[in-house]
Amino acid sequence: MPFQSLSLCVDLYGCPNRCRHCWLGHMPNRAMAPDADARIVERFKPHFERIAFYSWLREPDFCPDYRARWERDKALSVNAVPKRFELASFWRLVRDPDYAPFLKELGVPAVQLTFFGLEETTDRYVGRKGAFRELLRATELLLDQGIRPRWQGFINEENREELVSLLALSEELELPRRCEALGGEFRFFVHTGSCDGEARKLYPIWIRRDHIPAPLIPHFLDYDALWPERELCRLWRDAPGSAAPHNDGEELVLYVSNEYDLYFNFTHMRPEWRIGNLNEEPIDELIRRAVEEDTPALRAARAVPLGELVQRYGSPASERAFSPEDYQAYLLNRHLEQLSL
């Protein structure tokens, strides 16, 4: 077994949002059986030395008893402690006065909050009226506890100028000074996100590299690794390798949907990417498929050269900005959609 460590992320509670950039894709919130968590871990236990168990893969702490839930996640983990990733639920932050103190108790130093521009745009992209005001309120609640907010913005052609206004708002609210007073820096960053899941629908308004407003460039995540689509098409026109993603770390990360379907953490959770079903198939076979990357999507991905994907699905005149990894995933998913897997 090449992997000794497993991170197991189970969609036990779902998510209050329906973001337009959601790379996982939208899924209904559905309650799983009360003992689903323990049963799932038991199936993997004989095969891994370490298992970090997460009761969420969409919104952390989106269950009423998040305190007990955190203790249970730790207790179910095997020779491992689940991480917090500086993530939290802004939905819960504004609804539950005990939640921000709970994050403080855990020693969470910073929490990421996601914006899509100003009020109307953020509400529309999160899929909930009031989301923007909740994000501002969550910012204050975190600061009150000595936790630094970190503002993340997803950029496209529609909201690029609003993100400049959002940066100005963070300065008006004196977030850099207030975070510095807490002993750290305020981070404001923007990026495109990946072009899969719901975000695939944003391709028509995907940001052009030359349209990124100058004030945002110093805040752009991995700006230097951003290419215009036409340039990636030119570079890869005859590329022989494949665009298949591959697990080359020491840890395997597996997602479990609320219907017990098993997925890698590579891209969206669509049927073609399913490894198998935990209720219907033997665990040995599911682990073999995961370790050997023997799934229909990955077999199909390895069978087609990157150059062919570019010739079939690339737009050689497009200025849209992509990282090479995200663009490969976009091309591959377009290809997989053409096949009936």
Cβ 22 to ligand SF4 shortest distance, Å: 3
Cβ 180 to ligand SF4 shortest distance, Å: 28
Q: Is the dihedral of CA 327, 331, 332, 334 positive or negative?
A: positive
Name which of 17 and 139 has its Cβ closer to ligand SF4: 17
Going by their DSSP bridges, the two strands 148-154 and 276-277 should be labelled as unpaired
Cβ 181 to ligand SF4 shortest distance, Å: 29
Name which of 61 and 308 has its Cβ closer to ligand SF4: 61
Question: What's 242's DSSP letter?
Answer: B
The helix (run of H) or strand (run of E) holding residue 140 is helix 131-144
For residues 319 and 209, is the Cβ–Cβ distance under 8 A? yes
Name which of 17 and 159 has its Cβ closer to ligand SF4: 17
Checking 163-169 for CB contacts under 8 A at 24+ apart, the result is: 163/115, 163/117, 163/190, 163/213, 163/216, 164/213, 164/215, 164/216, 165/117, 165/118, 166/115, 166/117, 166/118, 167/215, 167/216, 167/219, 169/118
Name which of 18 and 299 has its Cβ closer to ligand SF4: 18
Name which of 37 and 59 has its Cβ closer to ligand SF4: 59
Report the site for ligand SF4 in 281-300 (rule: CB under 6 A): none
Name which of 87 and 283 has its Cβ closer to ligand SF4: 87
Cβ 59 to ligand SF4 shortest distance, Å: 5
Cβ 244 to ligand SF4 shortest distance, Å: 24
Cβ 163 to ligand SF4 shortest distance, Å: 17
Task: Show the binding pattern over residues 46-85: x = contacts ligand SF4 (CB under 6 A), - = does not.
Answer: ------------xx--------------------------
Question: Rounded to an integer, what distance in angstroms lies between the CA atom of residue 74 and that of residue 87?
Answer: 17
For residues 266 and 298, is the Cβ–Cβ distance under 8 A? no
Cβ 72 to ligand SF4 shortest distance, Å: 21
Give the distance from CA 128 to its chain's centroid.
Answer: 19
Amino acid in position 286: L
User: Which is nearest to 89 in space by CA: 56, 44, 51?
Assistant: 56
Name which of 22 and 298 has its Cβ closer to ligand SF4: 22
For residues 153 and 116, is the Cβ–Cβ distance under 8 A? yes
Name which of 150 and 289 has its Cβ closer to ligand SF4: 150
Going by their DSSP bridges, the two strands 261-264 and 251-256 should be labelled as antiparallel
Cβ 28 to ligand SF4 shortest distance, Å: 12
225: Cβ–Cβ under 8 A, 6 or more apart, which residues? 323, 324
Report the site for ligand SF4 in 187-246 (rule: CB under 6 A): none
Three-state DSSP at 323 gives coil
Cβ 115 to ligand SF4 shortest distance, Å: 12
Give the distance from CA 328 to its chain's centroid.
Answer: 17
Question: Rounded to an integer, what distance in angstroms lies between the CA atom of residue 29 and that of residue 32?
Answer: 10
Name which of 59 and 326 has its Cβ closer to ligand SF4: 59
Task: Show the binding pattern over residues 5-44: x = contacts ligand SF4 (CB under 6 A), - = does not.
Answer: ----------x-xxx--x-x--------------------
The size of the interface with ligand SF4 (CB under 6 A), counted in residues, is: 8
Binding residues for ligand SF4 (CB under 6 A): 15, 17-19, 22, 24, 58-59
